[in-house]
A = this chain, B = another copy of it.
Amino acid sequence: MTKVDPWADIQGKVDYDKLIKEFGTEKLTDALLERLERDAKAKGLEFHHLLRRRIFFSHRDLKWVLDEYDKGHKFYLYTGRGPSGDIHLGHIVPWMLTKWLQDVYDVELWFQLTDDEKFLFKPELTLEDATRLAHENALDILAVGFDPKKTKIFIDTEYAATMYPLAIQIAKKLNFTTTKAVFGFTNDQNVGAIFYTAMQSVPCILPSVLAKRNIPCLIPYAIDQDAHFRVARDILPKLGFYKPAAIHCQFLPPLTGPGKMSTTGESKESTIFMSDDAKTIRKKVMRYAFSGGKDTVEEHRRHGGNADVDMAFQWLTYFEPDDKKLADIRRRYESGELLSGELKQILVDTIVPIILEHQRRRNDAKRTLLQVLLRDHKG
């Protein structure tokens, strides 16, 4: 299996059950899913398809966070992004569920933009560019539709007078031996990168520090970020804080086949960015989406397509919330009624509105950004 860590380029099929064992997380149980569904229904909201379909598949301490919530002890959500290049559809997936969690539980979201990380781990990237990208990405975050009154966005380098004093308290409890073991660092690693994980742990405690009382933290993230939070869960109780809870999602695979979508190298061509126009999206889907259809129309009509390997269909499981509609598409595709090109067109018709709506909201977000952005003013 391909290596899964915060900086690996993940290619090929990912064995998520194996990751649960390897990382020591827990599978999302039916009982937990039912509980989330109940909480959503109580708020008049649909149970989220990313949960129904187990695209969010794993967690840590989710039961505890919900128990605390039921006792009147609200959690907050924390998630983040390493700013780099354009936002693509794969980035949006965990944010979609994060927004849903904010809506269901009416909680704060603390969103970290790790310009320092990207700068320290990407040899050619300048800090100026990393910070600029962070500002760009902040608009995409707001475009997801988070409640601006309950959302705080911060860029590490701009919020360091607040974050650095907390980061060094975490760093004091973490030695190089551990970072070697957890992240696979060698002695050639730069000392900023070695320190960095402490900055990623800060939002697990920051709201508690500012509020001067412990607040449970729930972090929705793609499973590749897990190493940071294994470290955080080990250290933070030693500093008197709760272990952060987590809920983990699978990666949106590239259109071309299994793995994790990326904006670098060859796969860039086939990546669908949140800034793409309808025509570009259609072209990419038509050209690159790996098809589970048969070689000829005749054969396809006779034997039907294979939805399980067809990337257009796989993507619909991420972006088409209606279960009946999805089951119907599968049935028609597997019976041969629906051709590969037609299935791709259904995907295009599903994601184009999502992306265009994102673009509209991103444009509006320029006004909201200043209101949600936490910065240490320089003096």
**Chain A residues engaging chain B, CB cutoff 8 angstroms:** 116, 119-120, 127, 131, 156-165, 167-169, 171-177, 179-180, 185, 187-195, 197-198, 374-379
> Could you list 13 A-B pairs, sorted by A, with CB under 8 Å?
A119-B168, A157-B161, A157-B168, A158-B161, A161-B375, A164-B164, A173-B190, A175-B189, A176-B189, A191-B194, A192-B195, A376-B376, A377-B379
**Is A188 a contact partner of B160 (Cβ separation < 8 A)?**
no
**Is A168 a contact partner of B379 (Cβ separation < 8 A)?**
no
Nearest CB of B to A127, in Å: 6
Partner of A191, one of B158, B162, B195: B195
**Is B378 a contact partner of A162 (Cβ separation < 8 A)?**
yes
Chain B residue numbers with a CB within 8 Å of A180 are 187
With A and B bound together, what is the CA distance between A194 and B379 in angstroms?
A: 28
Nearest CB of B to A122, in Å: 10
Nearest CB of B to A41, in Å: 39
**Is A175 a contact partner of B160 (Cβ separation < 8 A)?**
no
With A and B bound together, what is the CA distance between A192 and B175 in angstroms?
A: 9
Chain B residue numbers with a CB within 8 Å of A120 are 168, 171-172
Chain B residue numbers with a CB within 8 Å of A175 are 187-191
Nearest CB of B to A247, in Å: 27
**Is B164 a contact partner of A160 (Cβ separation < 8 A)?**
yes
- Write the chain B residue with the least CB distance to A231: B191
Chain B residue numbers with a CB within 8 Å of A179 are 191
Chain B residue numbers with a CB within 8 Å of A189 are 175-176
- Starting from the known contacts A127-B168, A160-B160, A176-B194, 10 additional A-B residue pairs (CB-CB under 8 Å) come to A116-B165, A116-B168, A120-B171, A157-B165, A172-B190, A172-B192, A174-B191, A175-B188, A179-B191, A191-B195
Instruction: State the number of copies, please.
Output: 2
Nearest CB of B to A163, in Å: 8
Known contacts A164-B157, A376-B379; decide if A190 and B177 are in contact (CB<8 Å).
Answer: no
Chain B residue numbers with a CB within 8 Å of A191 are 171, 174-176, 179, 194-195, 197-198
Chain B residue numbers with a CB within 8 Å of A374 are 379
**Is B157 a contact partner of A171 (Cβ separation < 8 A)?**
no
Known contacts A374-B379, A376-B376, A377-B377; decide if A188 and B176 are in contact (CB<8 Å).
Answer: yes
Partner of A127, one of B157, B165, B177: B165
Nearest CB of B to A133, in Å: 14
Chain B residue numbers with a CB within 8 Å of A158 are 161
With A and B bound together, what is the CA distance between A163 and B160 in angstroms?
A: 8
- Write the chain B residue with the least CB distance to A158: B161
Nearest CB of B to A190, in Å: 5
- Write the chain B residue with the least CB distance to A122: B172
Nearest CB of B to A175, in Å: 5
Known contacts A176-B187, A377-B377; decide if A195 and B171 are in contact (CB<8 Å).
Answer: yes
Nearest CB of B to A28, in Å: 32
Partner of A187, one of B157, B168, B172, B177: B177
Chain B residue numbers with a CB within 8 Å of A157 are 161, 164-165, 168
- Write the chain B residue with the least CB distance to A166: B127
**Is A164 a contact partner of B198 (Cβ separation < 8 A)?**
no
Chain B residue numbers with a CB within 8 Å of A119 are 168-169, 172
**Is A127 a contact partner of B190 (Cβ separation < 8 A)?**
no
- Write the chain B residue with the least CB distance to A373: B379
